């Protein structure tokens, strides 16, 4: 099967050392799927990593006025290179150990958004350093950025998370796949750009990597979208005495649970929405499970499978 596998950024840790270990662990699971004959395209999150990059430049500017702030499109591109380097290094090594001749390549990937997306009117995605209320107000007046209080820990800049429309480099991805390459692409949801005449212009926002993965899977005519997260199975009433595990479930039922508010925003909600979107296409399936259970999930032995 042609499978788009979406790795969570949190699974890769908060430092280069942690990330390299996370990449090595992920590589073993991914190599298992490749060894079984599946054609894989790999995407990944960048939550901790993009925060680390933004924080580094923000902190540097506080002590050296000559250091500039890094725009989001460029910071996301940096995270794609940094994470892709570790993933392709470890996956190439794992495949060589198994005598599998399948080169792995990472592709810096742009994804088109609508600059008039309603998400820009209500930014909700926290990024970067924490500030006091007075510091945040000063920065808001100086830069026009929007800051919101974050869980009693201080104020953070928030940016929009618009819907992805299309993957710019889709033809290059298809060419690489057709030539036998394993492609790491759309990292961190892709670099957000919008059309301006003949140009593509970067815009300060972040795209949810699960929605981006669903759009990618659709454009690649993949058979399966596999979203890997921290739990084995999607649940109702998670972590309560009434917890109910969801195994195979249809799109209309998952939509009903979404409407009833069963899934937390910023956590499971975008995953089930993205999985449901892809599974609503005729002949397609989505799987949500943990990294360790990816293989078992594709065999129907674990995880949550969403079908039309």
The residues carrying an active-site annotation are 9-10, 125, 209, 271
Write down the residue that tokens 């669903």 correspond to.
214
Q: Strands 155-159 and 146-149: what pairing?
A: antiparallel
Q: Strands 104-106 and 39-44: what pairing?
A: unpaired
Tokens of 58: 């923000």
N- to C-terminal Cα separation, the chain: 18
Report the C-alpha gap between 230 and 105 in whole angstroms.
Answer: 26
Report the C-alpha gap between 21 and 87 in whole angstroms.
Answer: 10
φ/ψ of residue 19, rounded to 5 = -65, -40
Strand runs (DSSP E) across 50-124, as ranges?
A: 104-106, 110-112
Report the C-alpha gap between 67 and 112 in whole angstroms.
Answer: 29
């Amino acid at each position: 099967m042609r499978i788009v596998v979406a790795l969570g950024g949190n699974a890769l840790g908060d430092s280069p050392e942690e990330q390299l270990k996370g990449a090595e662990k992920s590589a073993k699971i991914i190599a298992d799927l490749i060894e079984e004959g599946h054609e894989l395209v790999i995407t990944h999150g960048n939550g901790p990593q993009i925060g680390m990059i933004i924080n580094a430049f923000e902190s540097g500017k506080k002590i050296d006025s000559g250091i500039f702030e890094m725009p989001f499109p460029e910071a996301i591109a940096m995270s794609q290179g940094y994470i892709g380097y570790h993933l392709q290094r470890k996956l190439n090594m794992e495949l060589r150990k198994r005598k599998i001749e399948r080169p792995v390549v990472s592709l810096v990937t742009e994804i088109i958004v609508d600059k008039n997306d309603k998400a820009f009117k209500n930014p909700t995605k926290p990024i970067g350093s924490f500030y006091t209320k007075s510091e945040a107000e000063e920065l808001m007046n100086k830069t026009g950025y929007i800051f919101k209080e974050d869980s009693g820990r201080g104020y953070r800049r928030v940016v929009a998370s618009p819907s992805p429309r299309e993957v710019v480099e889709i033809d290059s991805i298809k060419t690489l796949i057709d030539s036998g390459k394993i492609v790491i692409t759309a990292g961190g949801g892709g670099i957000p750009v919008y059309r301006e005449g003949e140009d593509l212009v970067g815009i300060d926002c972040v795209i949810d990597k699960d929605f981006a993965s669903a759009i990618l899977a659709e454009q690649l005519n993949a058979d399966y979208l596999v979203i890997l997260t921290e739990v084995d199975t999607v649940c109702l009433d998670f972590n309560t005495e009434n917890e109910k595990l969801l195994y195979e479930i249809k799109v209309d039922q998952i939509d009903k649970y979404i409407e009833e508010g069963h899934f937390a925003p910023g956590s499971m909600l975008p995953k089930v929405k993205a999985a449901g979107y892809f599974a609503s296409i005729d002949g397609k399936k989505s799987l949500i499970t943990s990294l360790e259970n990816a293989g078992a999930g594709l065999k129907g032995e674990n995880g949550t499978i969403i079908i039309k």
